[in-house]
Structure 1
Amino acid sequence: MKNINVGLIGFGLSGQVFHAPIIDCTEGYVLKKIYTTNEKNIEIAQEKYSAEVCSNVDDILNSEDIDLVVVATPNESHYEYAKRALLKGKHVVVEKPFTVTTKQAEDLIKISKEQSKVLSVYQNRRYDSDFKTVKKIIESGVLGKIVEFEAHFDRFRNYPKNYWREENIPGSGILYDLGSHLVDQALYLFGTPNKFFADIRKQRSFAKADDNFELILFYDNLKVTLKASMLVKEPLPKYIVTGENGNFVKYGMDVQEEHLRRGLTPNTYSPWGKEPETANGILNINLNGIDIRTTIQSECGDYREYYRELYSAIVEGKRVPVTAEEARNTIYILESATQVNCDIIQFIPYK
């Protein structure tokens, strides 16, 4: 089996939790180099991995041994690192959100095609147990025609922290952070909308960047509502799917992030990505006059699926998971939402 040598640019939360351990546990990949200048993160990388730890990003970009560059840096730098890697002839994975602007996304797509290199965006929440379960329910047809879909990504923290994501800089705030997941999931399920509405807010008195949003995507005979907040103490449903036959309601979060933060990996913990039965969703429908209310066992989540699909794309020429074009559509909605708040926006397909 051919190995893909990986250079990881960035070793903060994303690099440490969502990329390095998953790459390390996925057959066909070798984590060769990690770029970070943070002393604490250097120690963590050296302790956990055999990869060379670099303090100069050019050690990765200029290396002939590196096949794939994974960009896991703050959002504002995604474009520059991805562009440099593509121009060096590398395949590239960019942590979500893809870029800050649609123009940047379109530029990277153009370069990747000119270089004949794979460009993909790490929308790992497509591989969450809850979303995989929702997708399976919708595709099964048991709900009948879907008329409304609502998804939440809520948290609670009513005090400030020194996070770059909460500073007033391009690409910061909850819309780009968590909205990139929710929008991607909606577009993955239903395609691009005809129009959309955006309400972006700063609710906490100390907030420098947006910490609450509501997006409504309008399709033919379908309404999709996406919401996130930093002030939700009592858990709300993560997903509410309504069809002509009834509803599917799902609470709880996928367990992979929690396990990865605790240092567990697919190689050290089994069954990986399996939710507790208490997190199973509720299906409540009426079929042919018969009421049915039952729990639905959650699918197992597995972020390795993304890297397995990426391997097939790079080595075998198969479909790229989370194409750059799909990610560009997500960025188009996020960027438009920040520019025209509390208004209806026409979705204009890229030509």
Structure 2
Amino acid sequence: MIQRPIGVGLVGFGLAGARLHAPVIAATGEFRIAAIMTSRREEAHAAWPDAAVVGDVDALIGRPEVDLVIVVSPNPTHAPVARAALAAGKHVVVDKPFVTDIADGEALIEQARSAGLVLSVYHNRRWDADFLTVRDLLQSGALGEVMLAELCWDRHRAAIKRGWREEAQDGSGLLSDLGPHLVDQMLQLFGHPDAVWADIVTQRAGAAVDDYFDLRFHYGELRVRLASSTLVAAARSRFALHGTRASFVKHGIDPQEAVLRAGGSPDQPGYGVEDARDRGMLTLADGKGHTVPTVRGDWRVFYRGVANAITNGAPAPVDPADALAGLRLIGRAREAAAAGRLVML
């Protein structure tokens, strides 16, 4: 039986591993970072002096103090690293996107089930402040029957950044980067759609991967639009939902990532609390409106759920089958874009 704290082996120590996972893991109080696989040895040693720093996956997986392997390496490596970790008897968390091939995801789910191991996917955006606020509004019935929902996530990055995300390979491009989060939020809010239309293109000069997408999902009369662009300086609303009773429009991005990117910690006061000036607006059918307090976001909930699954046998905080369902929808969206027509699901 695993004793707390649970030993974590982190595969990858780029921005995601060093800033978006490690501080969140440590702040839950139920883990210790036991080993890190990275070429950035000095940076990893400085940040986590008690962790072993190794240069390859096998060396990390082979360490007996590692109970849980977190896969934060480039997207094409997710499946082989997770497969090797499960084969060694380790629990596994994979950063999104779960896999680049649906068959690999199906095989990993079966491998984990057969071995009695926890397998989950880091869809941390389920614990974003704005998403939690929208979820609560939908559950309250304040919007009435929603007929149009738009989830947009824009950036302005005209320059092509160096790195694998901008190279033409499986798992690269904007749809593989932000698409899994948006699709997962859609599925959590509305369930599985009936059909999809999509526009996926490359707009920036010299870009080798898609940097714009506009996906339209049909749910009977309801339409859900998921959109993202790399060339939007004045970002669109992050959430806009329009129903028979009211509309809710929310700008801005959940504040947790900015805190972590800057070297902050989830333990600091006010973490996950959005500034009151950024609250969304609820507008009633008569035109009257008021702001809605934003629910506090907290990505630590995901890792607390992982700890509970490992130590108490609770369900994983994100079922990998959910992540796979989202990737299947992205695949169908690519089909729709290539065919230039609505694709029934």
Give the TM-score category using the shorter length. Answer: over 0.9
Amino acid at match of 1:293: G
SS at match of 2:342: strand
> Aligned residues: percent identity?
39
Q: Which residue number corresponds to residue 333 of structure 2?
A: 337
Q: Structure 1, residues 100-142: CA drift from partner, whole Å, max 9, x if none?
A: 1211111111111111111110011111111111111111111
> What is the deviation of 1:162?
0.8
Query: Structure 1-normalised TM-score?
Result: 0.94
Other-structure match for 2:269? 270
Measure how far apart 1:180 and its partner are: 0.8
Matches within 5 A, 1:192-231: 192-231=192-231
Q: CA deviation at 1:24?
A: 1.1
Give the total of aligned pairs: 340
Matched residue type, 2:58: D
**Is 1:101–1:335's contact at 8 Å kept on the other side of the alignment?**
no
Output the CA distance in 1 between the equivalents of 2:123 and 2:213. 19
Matched, 1:304 2:304: no
2:20 maps to which residue? 18
CA-CA distance at 1:340 after TM superposition: 4.0
- Helix, strand or coil for the counterpart of 1:336? helix
Deviation for aligned residue 1:291:
5.4
Deviation, structure 1 residue 285: 1.4
Q: Which moved more, 1:308-317 or 1:201-210?
A: 308-317
Structure-1 residue corresponding to 2:112: 112
Deviations 1:184-220 (A, max 9, x none): 1001111111111221100112110000001111112
Asked if 1:318 corresponds to 2:322, the answer is no
**Contact conserved, 2:132 with 2:295, CA < 8 A, in 1?**
yes
3-state DSSP class of the match of 1:343? coil
String of CA shifts for 1:152-184, please: whole Å, max 9, x gaps.
Answer: 010001122212111111110000000111001
Q: Is the 8 A contact 1:242 1:248 kept in 2?
A: yes
Q: CA deviation at 1:146?
A: 1.6
Q: Is the 8 A contact 1:306 1:321 kept in 2?
A: yes
Whether the aligned pair in 1 keeps the contact of 2:57 and 2:81 (CA below 8 Å) is no
Partner Cα distance (2:23, 2:142) in 1:
37
Q: Distance in 2 between matches of 1:182 and 1:211?
A: 15
CA distance in 2, matches of 1:193, 1:339: 15
Task: List runs of 5+ in structure 1 lacking aligned partners.
Answer: none
| Superimposed CA distance per residue, residues 15-46 of structure 1 (whole angstroms, 9 cap, x where no aligned partner) | 01111111111121111000002xxx322211
CA deviation vs aligned residue, 1:210-250 (integer Å, no higher than 9, x gap):
00001111112321100000011112110001111010000
Deviating above 4 A after TM superposition, structure 1's stretches of 4 or more consecutive aligned residues are none
**Cα distance change of structure 1 residues 291 and 214 upon mapping to structure 2, 3 Å threshold:** closer
Structure 2 distance, partners of 1:339, 1:62, is 41
The aligned residue for residue 54 of structure 1 is 54
Letter in 2 for 1:274: V
Superposed CA deviations along residues 42-80 of structure 1, whole A, max 9, x for unmatched, are 222111112111112112212222111100011111011
Whole-Å separation in 1 of the counterparts to 2:133 and 2:42: 38
For residues 306 and 316 of structure 2, what CA distance do their matches in structure 1 show? Answer: 6
Unaligned runs of 5+ in 2: none
* Residue equivalent to 1:4: 6
2:93 equivalent in structure 1 = 93
RMSD: 1.3
Name the TM-score, length of structure 2 as normaliser. Answer: 0.95
